[in-house]
Amino acid sequence: MSLRVLLFSIICLLSFEQKIFSQIKLDGQFKNWTAQNTNINGQQVCYAVSSPIASDPKNLNRAESRIFVSFRANDKIQNEISVTSGYNYKASSKVNLAIEKKEFNFETEDNFAWLTKYEDEISLIELMRKSTQAKVTATSVRGTKTIDTFSLNGFSDAYEAAKKKCNFSS
């Protein structure tokens, strides 16, 4: 399992475990986005995160879907975008994130998806700053197709707060 997938799996687990939840610190609520930080193995991880405002199919039994933009100062990693749809992805499938007419295809492993090119991450962040909505389409290991709609209201402020918390300049 790659370091990226492991890190985000840990973040996701931290988000759901009640006793560990207190270790995640809320740095700000910005409309539909929050800025949060936690410490994983002595390393501060800061991120902007959001949950969908709509999901289809509506009654599917799965964990919560989320979009993350993460920063890890110790590793000099910034603008790392990942998605989880609340289930394990179909093997060798891609997760598609669409904003307006632009589409980004994320690589998948287990229950996380991420962009592989830093240039794509920067392009997507710029688009997220200007737009109001993103749609994430994915396929579960069971073959179920899901579409999650995320509001981008508050993204820029949550992104800047997370970036600042992990000491990355604007």
Instruction: Sort strands 145-151 and 54-56 into parallel, antiparallel or unpaired.
Output: antiparallel
pLDDT one-digit tens code per residue, 114-153: 999 999 999 999 999 999 999 999 999 999 999 999 999 9
Domain extent, residue 111, equals: 3-165
77, β-bridge pairs: 72
Residues 84 and 12 sit within 8 Å (Cβ to Cβ): yes
- Tally the domains of the chain: 1
Q: Do the domain assignments include residue 32?
A: yes
In-domain check, residue 150? yes
**CATH code where residue 123 lies:** 2.60.40.1880
Cβ atoms within 10 Å, residue 122:
14
7-41 tens-digit pLDDT: 555 555 555 444 444 488 999 999 999 999 998 88
Q: Does residue 125 lie in a domain region?
A: yes
Q: Which pTM does this prediction carry?
A: 0.86
Task: Note whether residue 170 is domain-resident.
Answer: no
Nearest to 151 by CA among 93, 67, 79, 75: 67
